[in-house]
Amino acid sequence: MTDQPHALQDLAPPNRLADETSCGAPATAGLRIVLATAGDAGLLSHMVHELADFEKLSHECTITPEAVREHLLGPRRSADALIAWLGEEPVGYAVYYRTFSTFVARPGVFLEDLFVRQDFRHHGIGRALLKEVGRIAHSVGAGRFEWTTLKWNSKARALYGAVGARGMDEWLLMRMDAAALTRFTCDGAGKPHEGCRCRGEAHGHPNG
């Protein structure tokens, strides 16, 4: 168990058998959903690259096993991961982390990634992973369980609608990548702030 406030891995079962009762038909017989460990860093990194390729975003994917080991599977992790297995074959994964909503004054869970490998789709594995993370959200009394999906992925959107999720079309996702965040916080002033990772060497502000 970690002492980091965003980690939920203590709530995830170490070795859960996903069946039709726990995860909804038509789950594949013998599907296991387990909490990822440090030894899964290479596997998770590889599957994230597979997801990026599927989403046509490989040019944005810079994940490495070392980064996974430090930030996702290490003692000071920022998120948690589940891996779905059929026998000895890894068939998919989910990454999630804790959030908080001021409107409902309750914790929430955000599902960062949900991915099933191409040869194992249409067997209920994605739904099983989704339900397992949902179970974890329910366990912490989450007021919200949220995720994003690409607009062109009609099959994923159909699944999410079928399980009761709704699109929040009135909200627009805003994002700063690491480079923009460095420029924003450091301003190229040459004076590193507390916790600075660039030693004050950022060049310029994103808005000039």
User: Which CATH number does 9-170 carry?
Assistant: 3.40.630.30
- List active site positions: 160
Q: Which two tokens stand for residue 26?
A: 């038509």
pLDDT of residue 18: 52
pLDDT of residue 4: 39
pLDDT of residue 10: 53
Distance CA 36, CA 155 (A): 26
Distance CA 203, CA 38 (A): 36
Distance CA 83, CA 19 (A): 15
pLDDT of residue 36: 95
Cα-flanking dihedrals φ and ψ of residue 110, to 5°?
-110, 125
pLDDT tens series, the chain, 208 aa? 233 334 565 555 545 555 433 444 455 788 999 999 999 999 999 999 999 999 999 999 999 999 999 999 999 899 999 999 999 999 999 999 999 999 999 999 999 999 999 999 999 999 999 999 999 999 999 999 999 999 998 989 998 998 899 999 899 889 898 888 888 787 655 566 666 666 656 554 444 3
Task: Record the pTM.
Answer: 0.79
Residue 32, C-beta contacts closer than 8 angstroms, at least 6 positions apart: 15, 16, 17, 18, 84, 85, 86
Distance CA 1, CA 9 (A): 7
pLDDT of residue 111: 96
pLDDT of residue 25: 43
| DSSP conformational letter for 28 | P
Residue 104, C-beta contacts closer than 8 angstroms, at least 6 positions apart: 143, 144
* Whole-Å CA distances, 17 to 27, 77, 173: 10, 25, 35
Q: Locate CATH 3.40.630.30 in the chain.
A: 9-170
pLDDT of residue 192: 61
